[in-house]
Structure 1
């Protein structure tokens, strides 16, 4: 049954509009967007309610019930900063799981999680706060994905993988089982991770190696 809560999206760019489209297609109510770059515009997916500074005021006025973050992979530190500040101000973050995704009953999801079509989350997977999975991600058993991370389309994580905070795994990245990725790790498209990556940085190739 569609939720009656009205969801606002922070970020009116391509990611935010894609999120709004998924929400509306499943009967969810999108109140609008907040965006500092176009604080009074109307997008194809709805109107902009104001800049970031207006979030608390608009929430207090009853114009939305929950928030989701549409800040993309180019601004990972900002994703965390905005999320933490708004949570501290008492703004509630919603969740979205597309009905075409398989999410095992044992999966644990933090606030602000967004799961796109065709994803698979297996036994005992945990997604921490503000994690976004693009279309077709496969997350195998006992894997943990740290807060504010983004997984691009077609990412595959084998069992017992640990992904740190603010990671961005590029399209088609594969991580073999029982590996750990530290905070602020980024991978290029098609990378295959075959060893632990404790240091922040960008890793590309097969096997994935850090760019100098």
Structure 2
């Protein structure tokens, strides 16, 4: 671990990531990289370059990808990982993490989240504000669990899926990769085909 943290992405999601990093009090210096040259600072923190400058800081900084889009986050994260960057886990001090919970690098766990025991969350995920994830869940790589989502026990969410705000997933449900579940939806049985799903219970559209 380094005493400096660089966050790639200084817009909405990046701001929340920075706020969590500040509250964790693990880094002496936190700054941003952003490809929008008009952004000079965010959250009172300086934007010191673009994402192309990341390689210049590999030996002195930890890195975190503060980008909400799953595919973009994956691309940047994997590029940093290949370059040997140290990519930490960010957990808000007001999140509750149970026993035997495994969280992969580059995942952010936001305020009010509850993750119960024996759950695995892979790299590069977003577990957003107030979400609850019960026991024995498996959240695969680069998933976004939106604010207020509730996952019951033994749920599997496939890679790069996005579970919309306020959705609920019943216990023992498997959701395949690259799915989008609309806001307020309810999933009561397995989703086996990628696509967009909405409704109570969900249907594919």
| Preserved contact between residue 155 and residue 174 of structure 2 (Cα < 8 Å) | yes
2:121 to 113, 127, 150: 127
| Preserved contact between residue 35 and residue 50 of structure 2 (Cα < 8 Å) | yes
CA distance in 1, matches of 2:21, 2:90: 8
CA distance in 2, matches of 1:208, 1:69: 31
Correspondence for 1:182: 176
The SS at the match of 1:49 is coil
Q: CA RMSD in A?
A: 1.7
Correspondence for 1:19: 17
Correspondence for 1:197: 191
Q: Give unmatched runs, 5+ long, in structure 2.
A: none
CA gap 1:4/1:93 in 2 versus in 1, 3 angstroms: closer
CA distance in 2, matches of 1:89, 1:4: 16
Per-residue Cα deviation, 1:40-85 (whole angstroms, up to 9, x for no partner): 722233111211111011223x2x2x1111111xx32121111111
Correspondence for 1:139: 133
1:71 equivalent to 2:67? Answer: yes
Deviation at 1:39, TM superposition (A): 7.4
Deviation at 1:5, TM superposition (A): 3.0
| Preserved contact between residue 17 and residue 45 of structure 1 (Cα < 8 Å) | no
CA gap 1:197/1:4 in 2 versus in 1, 3 angstroms: same
Deviation at 1:167, TM superposition (A): 1.0
1:108 equivalent to 2:102? Answer: yes
Deviation at 1:146, TM superposition (A): 0.7
CA distance in 2, matches of 1:176, 1:26: 32
Deviation at 1:99, TM superposition (A): 1.9
Per-residue Cα deviation, 1:104-147 (whole angstroms, up to 9, x for no partner): 12101111111111111111100000111111111111100011
Question: How many residue pairs get matched?
Answer: 204
Deviation at 1:20, TM superposition (A): 0.7
CA distance in 1, matches of 2:57, 2:32: 11
TM-score (norm 1): 0.90
